[in-house]
Amino acid sequence: MSGDAGVVEGPLHGYHHETYVVPLPGRPGEAEPVRWKCREPRPGLLWFDRRCFASEEELLRALQGRIEGIPDLIQAGSAGLQRFIEGETLGTLYGSGGGIPSSLLGQIVSLFGQLARVRPDSLTAERTCTSVYRAAEADTDGFLERLILFTEEEVYQRNMPDFKGLFYDLGLDDASFGKLREQVSGLTRRPFHLLHADLHRENFVVDGVGRLWTIDWELAMFGDPLYDLATHLYLMRYPRDQERQMIEQWRKAVESVVPGSSDGCGKDLPKLLAFKRAQSVFTDVIRTALSLEEEERTVDASPLARAGDRIQQVLGAATVPLGIKIPAPESVTAALGRWCEERAASAGVMVGAVVPGGA
């Protein structure tokens, strides 16, 4: 498409995709070439989140003119290309846990208001999530139950053959989901609208004039608006004062568009944040354990200890919603060491492991 393979950038490795960036002539009125990106899912990747739209490009096409600051699209033969947003991610400019300028915070709030205008019956993009994982309009309890069910079936149970021993050693079992349901039930009903569902610092790009762009719409869905806020707060790790500011401005933004969108916020937001902490336990345990396999099949004390620290942190954050006890650091590290040894043995590979505390 570019006429010169040498100008193609990539693959740029993200978690979910390999991305290639292609410079093409600009549209009328654009003097310089414009860079566009095409993406391919990485092979063999475990997916831990629901996908509710058949195509991210189709969704973005349907949102043009309705949501500001999203990538343009062009069709190049059979390939749908997104415009590559030139700039820096919010995470590069303002790392996790740090505050962000009020001008950028205001643009995120504006995005929430625009999302509130996109109701389930107003969008033509094809949806593929099955009825098992859909909830009726405003059934916030049903919506959250389907998120729990997805984590239980598609993350926990589906990966049991490979992680049963590790889950057991960390105190995670079928009863964990029953305890979680008890902790988060009884949500206030709220009208559903479009959710991005993955608004973290790496999915915001700040361009050269300070405009905020929102990318990676793959996890978008229709559902409880408060879930989008909870996910955003959980992933952004705002300082306490700015988190309170975001909550208050979010309430005003969504209420001005669809009254009732923030009903029960004070009572329900802690429950949805508790769900996010619990959900992260299962995904982080699997990802962290698998990352140890990239240590060239040699598990020494240093990466094993670091992995154990990460697991203990996510377990500690979810003790209440999952009804579990925080294992001692040496117990977590030993459990990971045993898992690595068992994986290596099943693959017929010898591993020289140094496991603090024995295994």
Q: Which residue has the higher pLDDT, 150 or 7?
A: 150
- Per-residue pLDDT tens over the stretch 143-159: 999 999 999 999 999 99
pLDDT classification of 350: cutoffs 50, 70, 90: very low
| 38-65: average pLDDT | 80
Residue with tokens 């509130």: 116
Which range among 18-32, 161-175, 195-209, 315-329 shows the weakest confidence by mean pLDDT?
18-32
Does the pTM of the predicted model rise above 0.75? yes
pLDDT classification of 26: cutoffs 50, 70, 90: low
SS3 28: coil
CA angle 302, 313, 276 (to 5 degrees): 135
Closest alpha carbon to 97 in 226, 5, 193, 235: 235
| 210-234: average pLDDT | 96
Which range among 11-15, 36-40, 167-171 shows the weakest confidence by mean pLDDT?
11-15
Q: Which CATH number fits domain 46-126+189-261: 1.10.10, 3.90.25, 1.20.120, 1.10.510?
A: 1.10.510
Domain range annotation of the chain: 46-126+189-261, 140-188+267-346
Q: Are 152 and 247 in contact (CB under 8 A)?
A: no
Per DSSP (E only), the strands in the chain are 9-13, 17-24, 34-41, 73-76, 79-83, 88-89, 193-195, 204-206, 212-214, 221-223
C-alpha distances out from residue 90 to 85, 258, 344, 347, Å:
13, 28, 39, 41
Residue 74 in this model has a pLDDT that exceeds 70: yes
Which range among 37-41, 165-169, 329-333, 352-356 shows the weakest confidence by mean pLDDT?
352-356
pLDDT classification of 25: cutoffs 50, 70, 90: low
- Per-residue pLDDT tens over the stretch 234-289: 999 999 999 999 999 999 999 999 999 999 999 999 999 999 999 999 999 999 99
Residue with tokens 């559903």: 192
Q: Which residues contact residue 55 at a Cβ distance below 8 angstroms, ignoring those fewer than 6 apart?
A: 80, 125, 126
Average model confidence (pLDDT) for the chain? 87
245: part of which helix (H) or strand (E)? helix 240-257
Residue 5 in this model has a pLDDT that exceeds 80: no
- pLDDT the model gives residue 295: 59
Q: Which residue has the higher pLDDT, 288 or 131?
A: 288
Distance of CA 231 to the CA centre of its chain: 8
- Per-residue pLDDT tens over the stretch 294-332: 654 444 568 888 999 999 999 999 999 999 998 899 999
- pLDDT the model gives residue 9: 79
Which range among 185-199, 215-229, 241-255, 281-295 shows the weakest confidence by mean pLDDT?
281-295
CB atoms within 10 A of CB 358: 8
b/e 127-160 (16+ beta carbons within 10 angstroms → b): bebeeebbbeeebbbbbbbbbbebbbebbbeebe
DSSP 297: T
| 118-138: average pLDDT | 81
- pLDDT the model gives residue 296: 47
Q: Which residue has the higher pLDDT, 215 or 295?
A: 215
Which range among 183-187, 291-295, 324-328, 349-353 shows the weakest confidence by mean pLDDT?
349-353
Closest alpha carbon to 22 in 11, 32, 37: 37
- pLDDT the model gives residue 355: 35
- pLDDT the model gives residue 356: 35
